[in-house]
């Protein structure tokens, strides 16, 4: 895979001093930031209870991704992984049985995190799209709640992605071909193979081109209001009706954030004529998606990308779209 450093598709760059960072992480929800060293040294590894076989740990998952990045992109220096975890599972060692929780010593406690998401940024691999600096990034998600840990060892599920992070807002920009929703593997070596295949087959140029195209199309205030109303109606349609109209995965609470950002987002709100570009709409969608739990975040992120491209195609070709007022 050949990459171009600092190739500018759009020469207009937002200066760093002009950027207003609302948030500092690619995902928020109820997550907390941890280090790779913490996952390695301080966390136990869940097992499949019927045969006591070990699961693949969060540390192994992230460390393997880091190795694949170094192998595929030898000319770049990846940053330390940005790791977010949630749903802590606490325990204690056998000698601490019956001891009040408040009296437990640190070496008597055990813990692991049910859900983990991470991002590895290749900060030297930069692109400029619609005035925003984006950096190539890879990452993944692991949720132990999707495994049957009460059975014997079986294949384990992972989600991996490659795409870009918008440095204006730390939002992820992930395309359909840069995401694998359910990698099923039984060893770390198999995980290496799946990561290598996804990262090396990702069509970077197509992804960048489609994101740049988003800025060519705008919704006026009436069209935006119509879109929001239809999205709210969509949640209550019969499943078959939803399938015929395309998917939309953000929930009502997140759509409240979208409407608020339409008016108030310092980087991606409507313009002085009350119009909003699809690029800005895409970014307030992905901003709202940061409130999704780890196990649904990536699917919603990719869905936002698909939805905006569907909207752009409808505007470009003047084609009927249930969500739009053309």
The pLDDT, as a whole number, for residue 51 is 93
The pLDDT, as a whole number, for residue 19 is 36
Q: Which of 313, 23, 310 is nearest to 166 (CA)?
A: 23
17-54 pLDDT, tens per residue? 333 344 468 998 889 999 999 999 999 999 999 999 99
The pLDDT, as a whole number, for residue 24 is 66
For 100, counting Cβ atoms within 10 Å of its Cβ (0-12 exposed, 13-18 middle, 19+ buried), the class is exposed
Q: How far apart are the first and last CA of the chain?
A: 40
The pLDDT, as a whole number, for residue 283 is 97
User: Could you tell me which residues come within 8 angstroms of residue 68 by beta carbon, excluding any fewer than 6 positions away?
Assistant: 138, 192, 195, 196, 199
Positions of the chain with pLDDT lower than 50, given as ranges: 1-23
Tell me, rounded to whole angstroms, the distance of Cα 265 from its chain centroid.
Answer: 20
Tell me the domain boundaries of the chain: 7-203, 217-317
- Show the tokens assigned to 86: 């949630």
How long, in residues, is the chain? 326
The pLDDT, as a whole number, for residue 4 is 35
Q: Which of 21, 22, 210, 204 is nearest to 130 (CA)?
A: 210
DSSP character at residue 323: T
Report whether 309 contacts 303 (CB < 8 A). Answer: no
User: Could you tell me which residues come within 8 angstroms of residue 16 by beta carbon, excluding any fewer than 6 positions away?
Assistant: none
- Show the tokens assigned to 319: 């084609």
pTM for this model (two decimals): 0.88
């Amino acid at each position: 895979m050949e990459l171009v450093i600092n190739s500018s598709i759009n020469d207009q760059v937002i200066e760093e001093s002009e950027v207003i960072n609302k948030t500092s992480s690619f995902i928020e929800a109820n997550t907390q930031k941890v280090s790779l060293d913490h996952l390695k040294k301080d966390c136990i590894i869940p097992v499949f209870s019927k045969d006591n076989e070990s699961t693949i740990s969060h540390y192994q998952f992230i460390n393997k991704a880091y190795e694949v990045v170094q192998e595929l992109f030898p000319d770049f220096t990846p940053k330390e992984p940005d790791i977010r975890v949630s749903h802590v599972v606490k325990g204690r060692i056998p000698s601490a049985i019956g001891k009040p929780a408040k009296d437990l010593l640190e070496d008597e406690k055990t813990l692991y995190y049910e859900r983990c998401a991470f991002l590895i940024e290749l900060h030297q691999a930069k692109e400029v799209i619609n005035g925003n600096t984006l950096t190539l990034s890879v990452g993944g998600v692991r949720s132990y709640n999707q495994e049957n840990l009460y059975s014997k060892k079986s294949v384990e599920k992972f989600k991996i992605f490659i795409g870009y992070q918008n440095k204006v807002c730390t939002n992820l920009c992930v395309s359909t071909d840069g995401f694998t929703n359910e990698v099923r593997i039984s060893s770390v070596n198999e995980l290496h193979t799946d990561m290598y295949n996804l990262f090396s087959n990702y069509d970077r140029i197509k992804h960048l081109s489609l994101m740049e195209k988003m800025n060519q199309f705008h919704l006026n205030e009436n069209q935006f209001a119509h879109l929001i109303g239809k999205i709210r109606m969509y949640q209550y349609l019969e499943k078959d009706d939803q399938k015929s109209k395309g998917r939309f995965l953000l929930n009502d609470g997140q759509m409240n954030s979208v409407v608020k950002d339409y008016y108030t987002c310092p980087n991606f709100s409507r313009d002085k004529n009350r119009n909003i570009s699809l690029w800005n709409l895409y970014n307030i969608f992905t901003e709202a998606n940061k409130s999704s739990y780890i196990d649904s975040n990536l699917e919603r992120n990719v869905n936002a990308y698909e939805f905006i491209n569907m909207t752009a195609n409808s505007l470009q070709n003047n084609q009927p779209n249930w969500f739009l007022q053309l």
